[in-house]
Amino acid sequence: MTEPLVSFLLPIAPRSPWLAETLESIKNQSYKNWELIAVLDGISPHNLNVISQAAIENPVQILTHDLSLGISKSLNDGLTIANGELIARIDADDINLPTRIEQQVQKFAENPKLVLLGGSALVIDENGMELEESKIVPTGCQSITSRLLLRNALIHPTVMFRKNVVELAGGYNPTCTRTEDYDLWLRIATMGQVDNLSNPVLKYRVHSNQHTSGSAIITYSEAKQIWQSRKALGRKLGSSYLKILIFQLIWFGNRYLKK
């Protein structure tokens, strides 16, 4: 049996009321050479039943954590069993648009230097109603890499990345409980090109129970890890130490001003 090119990587928290919708959006992709890696992070008979039903007709691998170990650990565990060369992130409250994977696979085929690719997103509420606000991301490898030095420029559940590159980078850092994605993007941006599709690739759901990493105060150890990753990217870009330090202070300050 031919191994899939793409592995969806889906961490599932115990309370995931929209899981069935997410799974349906994976099943209905126009691109079909995929598998799903589902990581149940904490006991939930309902979630296990939903994902087990999906596994009857679809290529699904299921990992379970009896106790919640957090998103970074869940993602790293999922990566260890993924067969795909390309990893597509998705969260259990979001909905893929039908041609998402087809578009992203094509971009990777066109550019061997591409290591990370995201996209814009439509925004929906708890009832699935589309809101006027969309999440628009910058495009162009040079522009995105420069912006990453100051702030996150990709939407985590929209991204696809090369598995071998993320493994070489060390995977998600468990220290970064609120900025696990941004820290990883900083590290792998030193290893290849990063880009975004200008068009929406999924529906991003906003609700009261989501993992709001972009608006939460972070710990000193997490800020220190981001600083190390930011310095590495800054050196690659030829930025001065002073510029990198200023960007770190601005980013760190904004985390607290948001609160």
The CA dihedral of 170, 174, 176, 179, to the nearest 10 degrees, is 70
Instruction: Provide the residue ranges of all domains of the chain, joining segments of one domain with +.
Output: 6-257
CB atoms within 10 A of CB 125: 11
Task: Please give the biggest Cα pair distance in the chain.
Answer: 56
Q: Which residues contact 170 (CB under 8 A, 6 or more apart)?
A: 187
CB atoms within 10 A of CB 201: 26
- Per-residue pLDDT tens over the stretch 139-171: 999 999 999 999 999 999 999 999 999 999 999
- Per-residue pLDDT tens over the stretch 87-102: 999 999 999 999 999 9
- Per-residue pLDDT tens over the stretch 22-59: 999 999 999 999 999 999 999 899 999 999 999 999 99
Residue 258 pLDDT exceeds 90: no
Residue 205 pLDDT exceeds 50: yes
Q: At 67, is the secondary structure helix, strand, or coil?
A: coil
Q: How far apart are CA 145 and CA 129, in angstroms?
A: 33
**CA 83 to chain CA centroid, nearest Å:** 18
- Per-residue pLDDT tens over the stretch 206-250: 987 766 544 567 888 999 999 999 999 999 999 999 999 999 999
CATH class given for the domain over 6-257: alpha beta
pLDDT at 208: 74
Q: At 135, is the secondary structure helix, strand, or coil?
A: strand
- Per-residue pLDDT tens over the stretch 26-36: 999 999 999 99
- Exposure string (b/e) for 68-86, b if CB count within 10 Å is 16 or more? ebbbbbbbbbbbeebebeb
